[in-house]
Amino acid sequence: MKKKILDLIKKKNKQKIVSLTAYSKNIASILDNHCDIVLVGDSLGSVLYNYKSTREVSIDMMIEHSKSVRKGIKKALMVVDMPHNTYRNSKEALKNAKKIISQTKCDAVKLEGGKKIYKVVKTLIKNKIPVMGHLGLLPQSDKTFKFKGKQKIERDKILQESQLLEKAGVFSIVLECIETSLAKIITRSINIPTIGIGASKYCDGQILVFDDLIGLNPIDYKFVRKYLNIRKEISMAISNYSKDVRKNKFPSKKHSY
């Protein structure tokens, strides 16, 4: 297992893990100074392309954005989402995971699901491909957006699948939109880090979509704290630029050859 991944696992119960998404070099180079994990998420489908779901994201799209992100990362662990319909069986998963890693030079791939992908994960691990898991709300397959873990049968299933994924060999698991006490139980019951998004402070780390954190995405989610209103800042900058152009104040002599 890669040193970066081993270092990440050692943070469990000792230091909180910080993670954010990135889709380009410029943003990745900023995140690299502050994050343990930079995820090239298939959330780029809705964030950048206005798709209705992540199911519309292609593997080639993920690869191109990941190649850009790779150029901005020197320290953080770089993980890439395997998009919908790229790991339906072990053969397909191995082919596509190898393609992603060879073309992007990422450190690991992330897959959604539990029992259904157990054999797939085992195959990837056997072929020395590090895997991050993802349980709870599964954007690639869930048709409705609602938090998980209210009913006992659902709680038991998610807990059991977290243990199953650990057994399969994943080095960490993203827990998305699950009930607080369940996140706490899962985190305590497995020896690998849990990364929460809408899954309480009891996870070993947290991840958010970068565009949500800075307020670029106008949509509000309960689990997102906006640390900046970048839309307001951008609007002010463009307003000042447009005024200067119309008043012939830009470009000035200083900005001309």
Active site residues: 176
Coil vs helix vs strand at 81: strand
* DSSP 8-state symbol, 128: T
Query: CA 198, CA 137: separation in Å to the nearest integer?
Result: 10
- Kindly tell me the burial class for residue 84, based on how many C-beta atoms sit within 10 Å of its own C-beta (0-12, 13-18, 19 or more): buried
Strands 37-40, 108-110: pairing is: unpaired
Closest to 222 measured CA to CA, from 182, 174, 184, 176: 176
What amino acid is encoded at 59 in this protein?
I
Residue 105 zone, left/alpha/beta (φ > 0; ψ -120 to 50; rest):
left
DSSP string covering 149-207? --SHHHHHHHHHHHHHHHHHT-SEEEEESB-HHHHHHHHHH-SS-EEEESS-TTSSEEE
Which residues, 6+ apart, have CB-to-CB distance to 86 below 8 Å? 59, 92, 93, 96
